[in-house]
Structure 1
Amino acid sequence: MHKNSEGNSVTGLASLLSQVKGKDNHSEQGKAIAFLSGSELPTRRTEIWKYTDLRWFNQHEFVQSNPVKTQQVQEWLEKNVFSSPALSELPRLIMANGQIMKEYSTLLEYSGCQIAIKEDVHGSLGQPQRDFMTALNYAMGQQTLQLTVSKAQHAGTVLFVHLGYGQDAGLASFHCRLNIEIQEQAQLSVIEINAGSGEYFTNPVCEVTVGSGADFEYNKLLNSSLESYNCANLYVSLADHAKYRQFLISKGSKFSRQEVYIDMNGEWSNASFQAVQKLGDRQHADITTVFSHLVPHCQSDQNVKNILSDQSHGVFQGKVFVHQKAQKTNAQQQNQALLLSDQAEINTKPELEIYADDVKCSHGATVGALDEDQLFFLMARGIPYDQARDILINAFVAQAVEDIDDPIAKQLLKEQLGVEVVEDIT
């Protein structure tokens, strides 16, 4: 067990902060450590954490992670990347237990964008004084990866892979930081894959600035170990006429929470967020979003689908904030849940906070089981129950995947969801 200065064992937040306290910390890291040292974990009494319980955090002892064996990374890449002609050709950045694996990372020499690894650098969008997990990242993270796409550069598609490997003694944690700048009229598509084995905790922070007329697509697959814990905070700032699209699949981790904050700072900007949470066993997955319309003539849409079986628990908290200046706003928000078990649970809270009077805003939520009449219809035509069930689940998520623009990402995420073209059987 880890011991404090009095010789007593410590767990949870105290054991994590003990890894960085008393060291030569730079100013932002020092502020975050001081903030967390005087804070407690968010509880369900805190509105934004109402449906997600962090008590597991203080039930663990956090330890320094061990170096990852190259063979583990090689085997995973051969099975999941090198075997796919489309993925294997992409410029890629491979990280394992929070460390860049340079021998596998071709993105570092890619001419389509600039990559810099900076020590003790933070972005300008994150709010560690408000967001507990961002403060934890600022306190624990040592490096920031800066990716820049220059003005009018069309950088194509790049691949990020985050691998986590647990260890026998204690819970290792990884706190990666990524800053992405898409300059004026530039374009970039990112495919991110999270995977691994064993018990570990990941807590990345990503900050994205999309310049005037720029286009950024972000497709993320959270397929981490089913013993792992995953929190991630994403901050996006959009300039005028900027376009941002994100698709997220959450199917891994014992516990996950994805926070997404998007600020529309420029007129005629457009933001789209689509997600599917596909959960089983006792998995808990939380998607919390805040879309802030701060200027006129902006558009956003959110659509989160949940497929929940066994004793899994899904959460969606989506907020649309419309500033008084943000006239002519068009914002849509929808959450749908398909419960495949009587013990599965969904908590949903779509929310509008509007201070402008000339807007088109809507939100809604639907929760239900598979339609028995549709199941009967399919089975009456000779389709076995399991196949009929899969067809209906497929139809539930198929359209969301079809809206992905990047063809490589679309194929990957279709495979992960088991989505395929279903011919008309009528």
Structure 2
Amino acid sequence: MPNHSEDHNLKGLESLLSQVRGKEMSADQKNAVAFLTDNGLPTRRAEIWKYTDLRWVNQHVFTQPSQVKHKKIQTWLEKNIFASEALFKLPRLILANGQIIEEFSTFFHNSACELELKDYVYGNLGQPQRDVITALNYAMGKQTIQLNVPKNQHGGTILLIHLGYGDQSGLASFHYRLNIELQEQSQLSVIEMNAGSGEYFTNPVCEVKVGSGANFEYNKLVNSSLESFNCSNLYVTLADHAKYRQFLISKGAKFSRQEVYMDLQGEWCNASFQAVQNLHDRQHADITTVFSHLVPHCQSDQNVKNILSDQSHGVFQGKVFVHQKAQKTNAQQQNQALLLSDQAEINTKPELEIYADDVKCSHGATVGALDEDQLFFLMARGIPYDQAREILINAFVAQAVEEIHDPIAKDLFKEQLGVEVVEDIT
């Protein structure tokens, strides 16, 4: 074993890789195991990991995930899905501890999408030779879920649910793979919910291909156990005239890192990424994005809002790359943070790397506390302090939620963020 950085013993990584060593592996899996064995985990000396520390990995011994009792899954569904008529009617695909639970999944007989299950991990957008989290998914993954929407078809809205349950035997890890492909002029909306209890580690990789003139909306809720660790990599390619919209809420997990790699490959395509990180206690959440404009006449916008209280720590690293061919690019990027505690912290690093000269690109970051004058104004009108505080927080995120097009997702995410319609009090 090579001698890696002195501040990284390899106990955790080795306990993961030992689960697959000596077993039959695909070429991609072998390459990923070799990459991780040779390179170990990145330290904060690596620029892209400057604000997020992976040392927690090697402070644990990882175990195989246990099977989840269906009664436990049913209890969660009754409370969170079955009680909502709108969510209950959606075709749903449910995974618990990384395994598909067919008993509660209605997707197999109630969806316009085509579903394939493959007993190995595959994909051609992710870069395991560059990204340690993707490499770990290739090394540890056992199955790929492939969703396809045929040409000119409307796949409607589907519900993906990922549940994680830890136990006392060790830190279980789940490394599932989801590939989504929309053919020419097709449409699909996905609502993804992540939840669970106990201590566990989830490491999914998702690859999305949006074909010519296709329209994809992806609304993701990370509301995992507050003892859990969550790393997720998303790779997206857009063909000409394709539209991609995503809204992400990160409010669960002790540790979360969401990476988004967006390649705008076809002219006149459009990508929108909206996110809210709502953190408290000692939670750490990191959103890292790379939007690559590779051809002319494309548009992208990113807007990440952070609500940080107690001793929580938020990170946003957003990069916009504009190739020299990508004239007439329009790319906007904004990060805003609302600090509700003197001990809360935000690290923000927006970047522009531009090689074309006829473009409109901008980025910005703002950090602040609640406006004392606005608080005073509301309280002077008889509104209690706590209610006035919630009104201002509500106003901070409400506009972002309105960007969600799918009405079911919009209602769900408003509920998750506590966003309500507030009457004009002026």
| TM-score for the superposition, normalised by structure 2 | 0.97
C-alpha deviation, 1:120, in angstroms: 1.4
Partner of 1:206: 206
Partner of 1:122: 122
Q: Is 2:121–2:141's contact at 8 Å kept on the other side of the alignment?
A: no
Question: What code does the residue aligned with 2:370 have?
Answer: L
Relative to 1, partners in 2 of residues 1:132 and 1:266: Cα closer, same or farther, differing over 3 Å? same
Partner of 2:412: 412
The equivalences for 1:311-350 within 5 A come to: 311-350=311-350
Partner of 1:235: 235
1:190 and 2:190 are equivalent in the alignment: yes
Partner of 1:6: none
1:85 and 2:85 are equivalent in the alignment: yes
SS in structure 1 at match of 2:164: strand
1:10 and 1:171 map into 2 onto residues whose CA distance is: 15
SS in structure 1 at match of 2:39: coil
Partner of 1:295: 295
1:220 and 2:220 are equivalent in the alignment: yes
Question: What code does the residue aligned with 2:125 have?
Answer: L
Question: What code does the residue aligned with 2:68 have?
Answer: V
Partner of 1:66: 66
Q: What residue ranges of structure 1 are gaps of 5+ in the alignment?
A: 1-8
Q: Is 2:10–2:58's contact at 8 Å kept on the other side of the alignment?
A: no
Q: Is 1:134–1:205's contact at 8 Å kept on the other side of the alignment?
A: yes
1:111 and 1:160 map into 2 onto residues whose CA distance is: 12
1:283 and 2:283 are equivalent in the alignment: yes
C-alpha deviation, 1:11, in angstroms: 2.6
1:295 and 1:206 map into 2 onto residues whose CA distance is: 23
Partner of 2:391: 391
1:296 and 1:199 map into 2 onto residues whose CA distance is: 46
2:233 and 2:10 map into 1 onto residues whose CA distance is: 27
For each residue in 1:323-363, what CA deviation from the matched residue of structure 2 results, as whole angstroms up to 9, or x when unmatched?
A: 00000000000000000000000000000000000000000
SS in structure 1 at match of 2:324: coil
1:274 and 1:26 map into 2 onto residues whose CA distance is: 36
Partner of 2:43: 43
| TM-score for the superposition, normalised by structure 1 | 0.97
- Structure 1 segments of 4+ aligned residues over 6 angstroms from their partners: none
1:84 and 1:11 map into 2 onto residues whose CA distance is: 44
1:248 and 1:205 map into 2 onto residues whose CA distance is: 15
2:37 and 2:121 map into 1 onto residues whose CA distance is: 21
SS in structure 1 at match of 2:336: strand
Question: RMSD of the TM alignment (CA)?
Answer: 0.9
Partner of 1:97: 97
C-alpha deviation, 1:110, in angstroms: 2.9
SS in structure 2 at match of 1:207: strand
C-alpha deviation, 1:111, in angstroms: 4.0
Question: What code does the residue aligned with 2:28 have?
Answer: E
Q: Is 1:11–1:62's contact at 8 Å kept on the other side of the alignment?
A: no
Q: What residue ranges of structure 2 are gaps of 5+ in the alignment?
A: 1-8
1:178 and 2:178 are equivalent in the alignment: yes
2:10 and 2:312 map into 1 onto residues whose CA distance is: 30
Question: What code does the residue aligned with 1:263 have?
Answer: D
For each residue in 1:187-235, what CA deviation from the matched residue of structure 2 results, as whole angstroms up to 9, or x when unmatched?
A: 0000000000000000000000000000000000000000000000000
C-alpha deviation, 1:109, in angstroms: 2.0
Question: What code does the residue aligned with 2:276 have?
Answer: V
Q: Is 1:10–1:61's contact at 8 Å kept on the other side of the alignment?
A: no
Q: Is 2:44–2:50's contact at 8 Å kept on the other side of the alignment?
A: yes
Question: What code does the residue aligned with 2:378 have?
Answer: L
Q: Is 1:17–1:33's contact at 8 Å kept on the other side of the alignment?
A: yes
2:24 and 2:281 map into 1 onto residues whose CA distance is: 43
2:215 and 2:131 map into 1 onto residues whose CA distance is: 27
1:264 and 2:271 are equivalent in the alignment: no
For each residue in 1:106-125, what CA deviation from the matched residue of structure 2 results, as whole angstroms up to 9, or x when unmatched?
A: 11223401001001141110
Partner of 1:380: 380
Identical-residue share of aligned pairs (%): 79
Question: What code does the residue aligned with 2:231 have?
Answer: C
Partner of 1:361: 361
For each residue in 1:123-172, what CA deviation from the matched residue of structure 2 results, as whole angstroms up to 9, or x when unmatched?
A: 11000001100000000001000000000101110000000000101100
Q: Is 1:265–1:295's contact at 8 Å kept on the other side of the alignment?
A: yes
C-alpha deviation, 1:296, in angstroms: 0.1
Partner of 1:371: 371
SS in structure 2 at match of 1:190: strand
Q: Is 1:339–1:369's contact at 8 Å kept on the other side of the alignment?
A: yes
The equivalences for 1:104-183 within 5 A come to: 104-183=104-183
Question: What code does the residue aligned with 2:228 have?
Answer: S
SS in structure 2 at match of 1:38: helix
For each residue in 1:20-54, what CA deviation from the matched residue of structure 2 results, as whole angstroms up to 9, or x when unmatched?
A: 00101111111111111111211110000000001
SS in structure 2 at match of 1:394: helix
The count of aligned residue pairs is 418
2:121 and 2:57 map into 1 onto residues whose CA distance is: 26
1:38 and 1:115 map into 2 onto residues whose CA distance is: 36
SS in structure 1 at match of 2:133: helix
Q: Is 2:218–2:246's contact at 8 Å kept on the other side of the alignment?
A: yes
C-alpha deviation, 1:10, in angstroms: 7.4
2:195 and 2:65 map into 1 onto residues whose CA distance is: 16
SS in structure 1 at match of 2:237: strand
2:220 and 2:393 map into 1 onto residues whose CA distance is: 21
2:251 and 2:130 map into 1 onto residues whose CA distance is: 27
Q: Is 1:230–1:257's contact at 8 Å kept on the other side of the alignment?
A: yes
Question: What code does the residue aligned with 1:396 have?
Answer: F
Partner of 2:4: none
Q: Is 1:32–1:136's contact at 8 Å kept on the other side of the alignment?
A: yes
Partner of 1:5: none
